[in-house]
A and B are shown apart, each in its own frame.
Chain A
Amino acid sequence: MPFLTIVYALLFYVATALLVGGLAYKIRQYAKTPAPLKIPTTPAPVTRSGVVLRMFRELAFFESLFKSNKWIWVFGYLFHFGMFLVLARHLRYFTDPVWTWVDLIQPFGLYAAFAMAAGLGGLWARRFLVDRVRYISALSDHLMLALLMAIALTGMAMDYLTHTDIVAVKAFFLGLMYFNWQPIPEDPVLLLHLALVATLMIIFPISKLLHAPGIFFSPTRNQVDNPREQRHLAPWAARLENK
């Protein structure tokens, strides 16, 4: 087995384990931490199904961000939904036979990469051009955008500049999934792309990318506005009553 194949195989096992394990740890931590007081940002839904709808609008349309700032909304939306389509398109490397809907979105996924890069570019430009955003940006905020941009650009390069042997790439990943390792194509652009993706997976649970699971646990968005109708009491607060 070629040395690079072993390195990349191990890298992706480790990255996947850290991503899944790290996220599971954080999600468990969020779920187990009580929210002792009712703090939905009002006006808030008064029923559980209303909350599901509010959450859906937040996730599907970035509702609060839309209210806030149209530039961040446009760039953020382009980036996130571009990336979403690109990721969906990549499912063809992990499924055999490829699911029909994944087949159908292939052409859109291609354009989505441009949307993703454009969104990232806009967000990054704001970190330099808007004095308020410049002030709050740490080095890690720039590096995160650099990492995502590099992933997008190396991915696009393989479509438009140097073609890589995607049949072999697919064989490599299916091999990882079924523990039947296949050699990875030794194409430098591909290797760079994959190394960056593995990096992103590794830092996901220890970085601000935690906003992805975090939003589901945000009490200002996921609580039902019914404090007068139903008594809400956290376990640690209930213990105060027995003192």
Chain B
Amino acid sequence: MADFDTPELKEYPVIPHLQEGVMAHSKPFVAKEEFQEQLGFPGELVDNWEQVALDKMEELTGKYRGFRVFLDSCVKCGACTDKCHYYLGTTDPKNMPVARQDLLRKVYRRNFTFAGKYFPKLVGAVDLTKEVLDDWYSYFHQCSQCRRCSVYCPYGIDTAEISMAAREIMDSVGVGQKYCNEIIGKVYKIGNNLGLPQPALVDTLEGLEEEVEDDTGVKVRFPVDEKGADILVVTPSADFFAEPHVDGLIGYAKVFHEAGISWTLSSHASEAANFGMFIGSYENMRKVSLRIREAALDLGVKRIVMGECGHAWRVAYSFLNTLAGPFDFLDPNYPVPQHILEFTHDLIQRGALTLDKSANDDMVLTYHDSCNVARASRMGSKPGGQFTIPRDVIRASCNHFFDMPQDTIHEATYCCGGGGGLLTDDLMELRVKGALPRMEALKQVVEEHGVTHMAAICAICKSQFSKVLPYYGFTMDSIVSVHQLVSNAIVLGNKQ
């Protein structure tokens, strides 16, 4: 099936020489009319698309300070050029963050700056043509909005912001991406990305209850739509059936069981992920977010806890209060929302959970910091809690843990290669190549410390790694959920 070569894992990472145009063919399927229209976008490329696109660009420079400042500020110093996993994996120069931004910046300059209007050749400004639009479609769908470049930019320019704006401009002229836009439509119609309706959800959760009871002899509940529960749990819908996600969900249920706190899922807000962010659409992101507010009000809960999901946690932590707040109807003693890891970590700190680390002795673990958790959110009260809290929970659940090299973890972490709305089979080549830097780091700890498994806290990371690990000679089940480790280690019934 694969009509491309998987990059070779080198002994140590090398910054590759560029090869122009090698990824120009990579582009995701275009959204059909019906999926465009349910999001409020034109069904196909509109007639005067050049003008519509420029109007949209101007509107966005007026609405987003970041977008405007980033377009003006870049000095082309080159600091970001070797920081993107897609550049390192593909060697296509348009995957260097600055070059990706320039695809849009050169049109901005041509139309909205003095230098670009009167001296276009001098500053590399160009008109918006069909070729430029095609380039946008290709390369703004080769950015996973992971923000690694923004860490290293001396002005904090975040390519994710440019990518999101570019996708919104493309949506506004009728050229949307099938994967993202179809999924957002499903959330509006059914409540989650997978299109899993309420009866199927109830069924699945009943199945999990039986499975856990068979396994442990303890009746651990998986409640859905239970009014009056204390906590609403919103988790990525992949947690309901995908591996290893579902093992994480079982972990959350066991933790709530042990804590003796009532909780519920919601069929209305049965999705933590918010693809509205990927397409840069404030309105769609808000509409998806409001479902969480509606569910919380409807069920009368006191707290909201989010499951393991990367971009979802960014939207929840950084944007939920803005998009769907204020949450003054919830218990003010807890942050809104809370991450399941904050919840579990807190219980461990208080000694409220009994964990038998030896239950995970068949694994030697490392941990993949998910990009949007690492660089676009926080856990706990201190900066950097997003790095220490997951590791504390892992260390409390297992005996053998080793970190990957320093320049590939924490704020320097690499994207899994499938984030930002790129986790689709029509982008398989990009996904495999984009995983290269993470695979190199993994290989190093496998060789040095005998690491057998990598834990993650993001539905996209987990799905992406299950798929691409085999390309690099690892087994697909060497990716695990953090709460799967908790689930294995937790001793049930101990605290009652």
**Chain A: residues with CB nearer than 8 A to chain B?**
26, 29-30, 33-39, 41-46, 58, 62, 64-65, 67-69, 72, 76, 123, 126, 130-133, 135-141, 143, 203, 206-208, 210-211, 214-215, 217-221, 225, 227-234, 236-237, 240
Please measure, in the bound complex, the distance between the C-alpha atom of A221 and the C-alpha atom of B61, giving whole angstroms: 18
- Name the B residues within 8 Å of A230 (CB-CB): 321
Given contacts A37-B322, A140-B123, A215 and B383 within 8 Å (CB-CB): no
In residues 69-84 of chain B, which contact A (Cβ within 8 Å)?
Answer: 69-70, 72-83
Please measure, in the bound complex, the distance between the C-alpha atom of A38 and the C-alpha atom of B319, giving whole angstroms: 7
Please measure, in the bound complex, the distance between the C-alpha atom of A229 and the C-alpha atom of B70, giving whole angstroms: 27
Residue B41 at the A interface, CB < 8 A? no
In residues 315-332 of chain B, which contact A (Cβ within 8 Å)?
Answer: 317-319, 321-322, 325-326
- Name the B residues within 8 Å of A227 (CB-CB): 317-319, 321-322
Residue B375 at the A interface, CB < 8 A? yes
Please measure, in the bound complex, the distance between the C-alpha atom of A240 and the C-alpha atom of B276, giving whole angstroms: 16
Please measure, in the bound complex, the distance between the C-alpha atom of A236 and the C-alpha atom of B62, giving whole angstroms: 10
When A and B form their complex, what is the total count of cross-chain residue pairs whose Cβ atoms lie within 8 Å? 212
Q: Interface residues of A: mostly helix, strand, loop or mixed? A: helix
- Name the B residues within 8 Å of A30 (CB-CB): 65, 68-69
Please measure, in the bound complex, the distance between the C-alpha atom of A238 and the C-alpha atom of B387, giving whole angstroms: 33
Given contacts A136-B78, A215-B155, A210 and B72 within 8 Å (CB-CB): yes
24 pairs from A and B in contact (CB 8 Å cutoff): A36-B64, A36-B322, A42-B376, A42-B377, A43-B378, A43-B383, A44-B378, A46-B378, A46-B381, A68-B79, A69-B78, A136-B76, A141-B76, A143-B122, A210-B72, A218-B156, A219-B69, A220-B158, A225-B378, A231-B326, A232-B321, A234-B63, A240-B282, A240-B283
Please measure, in the bound complex, the distance between the C-alpha atom of A218 and the C-alpha atom of B317, giving whole angstroms: 20
Chain A proximity of B82: nearest CB distance (Å): 7
Residue B335 at the A interface, CB < 8 A? yes
Q: Which of A62, A65, A140 contacts B115 (CB 8 A)?
A: A140
- Name the B residues within 8 Å of A138 (CB-CB): 76, 122-124
Q: Are B74 and A139 in contact (CB under 8 A)?
A: no
Q: Which of B68, B82, B155 contacts A33 (CB 8 A)?
A: B68
Closest to B287 in A: A240
Please measure, in the bound complex, the distance between the C-alpha atom of A207 and the C-alpha atom of B115, giving whole angstroms: 7
Q: Which of B68, B81, B156 contacts A136 (CB 8 A)?
A: B81
Question: Which of B69, B74, B383 has the most chain A CB atoms closer than 10 A to its own CB?
Answer: B69
Closest to A62 in B: B154
Please measure, in the bound complex, the distance between the C-alpha atom of A41 and the C-alpha atom of B165, giving whole angstroms: 18
Question: Which of A36, A136, A143 has the most chain B CB atoms closer than 10 A to its own CB?
Answer: A136
Residue B49 at the A interface, CB < 8 A? no
Q: Are A126 and B383 in contact (CB under 8 A)?
A: no
The stretch from B95-103, B256-264, B352-360, B442-450 touching chain A is: B95-103
Residue B223 at the A interface, CB < 8 A? no
Interface mask (B303-325 → A, CB under 8 Å = 1, otherwise 0): 00000000000000111011001
- Name the B residues within 8 Å of A206 (CB-CB): 113-115
Chain A proximity of B277: nearest CB distance (Å): 9
